[in-house]
A and B are shown apart, each in its own frame.
Chain A
Amino acid sequence: MINLHRVTKFAFQDITRNFGLSFMTVLILILMLLSVNALWSVKIITKEAVGLIKDQVNVSIYFAASAGDKNVGEIEKYVKAFPEVVDVQTQTSDQVLASFKQRHALSKDVLSALDELNANPFGPTMVIKTREPQDYKKIIQALSVPEYKDLIEAKSFDEHESAIEKIQNITNRTENIVAGLVILFAAISFLIVFNTVRAAIHTQKVEIGIKRLVGASNWFIRGPYLIESFIFSVISLLATIGVIYFTLRFVDQYLSAVFPSGFSLTNYYNSHILYVFGLQFLSVLVLTVVSSALAMRRQLKV
């Protein structure tokens, strides 16, 4: 207990007496964390934007006027059984007619032409939503069987197919680019932090030698650096959280204009605070501890 107290005291002494170097180390850690969070935020915003577009994409099935409610009901049950399907909205012939009339309430010509027919020319429609855009193909294929040939008049998927593929490509590419950038940035940050910590320890090479000569154990020499790593991790993370929340106040104003769904990064960070910052704290701690341990390996040989 005495030793832990002393090692902690030495760590605080080292930090204050080598303030310049401590400040630089923390600053680099903050810059690294801010960059990682910027990339993280871009990923979240992209995901939200793509999700929004995906939500607006669906497949409409237009049934023949002769298709009875019973057949449509069976097909609805069949479609709902697919695990990929998240929602199915069906309109009967009468509902389609009513909404058509409502849409064209001001076009007297259209309405009089409809009256001339003396019968409802519309068949039921079915709007299907799936989890992922690529799932639509499977649903369409499942409905393109001879038994349904006379019941289904048209499917709107063909019109959406290229748009869906494009979204899919953009999503995949964005995710790959962001993942690549995160890995690249993490590697660069690791090298910068590693060398900063190593430089800090190298400047204290003589001191470490003296500590060994007066009989300090490895724990007494290594301990202060480990505790310093912990303190640097805590300070840099707290500062990063402060900067992020301050910046989000401005960013969220723009996001609320772009996303009508009310998406906000502040809400995202609030609901994932333990996961996002816990993970970052652990990463920074491992990074600084490993850097210190590697840098001290040579100095600790007695």
Chain B
Amino acid sequence: MITIEGVSKIYSTSSVALRDVSLHIKAGEFVSVIGQSGSGKTTLTRLLIAEENPSKGKIKIGDWDISKIKTNEIPFLRRQIGMIFQDYKLLPQKTVFENVAFALEVAGEKSKRIRHVVPQLLEIVGLSDRKDRYPFQLSGGEQQRVAIARSLAHRPKIIVADEPTGNLDTINTEEIIQILKKINEFGTTILLLTHNREVVNALRRRVITLHNGQIALDQEAGKYIL
């Protein structure tokens, strides 16, 4: 599903974010990527959604080499990868329904289909009764669930979750992880970037540890080791 071959991201000789990273993530895997701040986790995310291009190496999503992606192809890539962030990144002037619908609207989906799909997505994350609220009227956990619903709008094959539980308490963290596991069970590949030891240990799934921009450990059913 995701193939990274010898990827480096070099900003300057004294600032190297990733060094010769190679890995392969199979379709339907649930992979946690851990590492200290500055280890290269965020750079990896930015490369996956083409916010930046690698200095060296290749990144392939399926058969699509996105290392030298054209500017006008980027929106199409981003519609195929669901993104979830620590700060939720919801549009503050739009309601819950509109936030989820927006992801479909930008792709030119018909209004009838949007009216049909969005309630289903809100049902999955348990927010059907909050559809007319604005983000500031929701708790952190609820906002993150809206972000998850939005990330599912295009039925992506991959979801990249960058510290999705970073701002949440234990109960909400557990709820979010359960939703991600449920999504994974339907066959979606999940790439979870996290600092949360308990979450990683409880998952018992593949764990990739980054250190100084390199892969330090890659364990199947691994644990949080730093």
Contact = CB atoms under 8 A, between A and B. Distances in A.
B106 A216 contact: yes
B105 A6 contact: yes
Label chain A's interface by main secondary structure: helix
Nearest to B104: A214
A18 B93 contact: yes
Nearest to B94: A13
A216 B83 contact: no
A207 B91 contact: yes
Contacts of A212: 75, 78
B83 A213 contact: yes
A216 B51 CA distance: 14
A215 B153 CA distance: 11
Contacts of A214: 78-79, 83, 102-103, 106, 150, 153
A213 B49 contact: yes
A302 B79 contact: no
Interface string B86-114: 00011111100000001101111011000
B76 interface: yes
Given A3-B108, A302-B71, A213 B93 contact: no
B225 interface: no
A211 B89 CA distance: 9
Interface in A190-241: 206-207, 209-217, 220
Interface in A223-264: none
Counting chain B CB atoms within 10 Å of each CB, the highest count among A2, A210, A220 belongs to A210
Nearest to A221: B106
What range describes how many residues of B lie at the interface?
20 to 34
B83 A302 contact: no
A18 B72 CA distance: 30
Contacts of A108: none
B7 interface: no
A215 B105 contact: no
Contact of B103 (A17, A18, A215): A215
B89 A302 contact: no
A48 interface: no
B10 interface: no
B50 interface: yes
Contacts of B226: none
B144 to A, nearest CB: 14
B103 A13 contact: no
Given A213-B49, A214-B150, A215-B103, A302 B91 contact: no
B74 interface: yes
A17 B105 CA distance: 19
A215 B71 contact: no
B196 to A, nearest CB: 23
A17 B75 CA distance: 26
Contact of B75 (A3, A6, A14, A217): A217
A215 B92 contact: no
Contacts of A13: 93-94
B91 A213 contact: no
A2 B110 contact: yes
Given A207-B93, A213-B89, A2 B78 contact: no
Interface of B: 49-51, 71-72, 74-79, 83, 89-94, 102-103, 105-108, 110-111, 150, 153-154
14 contacts: A3-B108, A6-B105, A13-B93, A14-B93, A210-B89, A210-B90, A211-B102, A212-B78, A213-B49, A213-B78, A215-B76, A215-B103, A215-B154, A302-B75
Given A2-B108, A216-B106, A217-B106, 6 more contacts: A212-B78, A213-B83, A214-B78, A214-B102, A215-B78, A302-B74
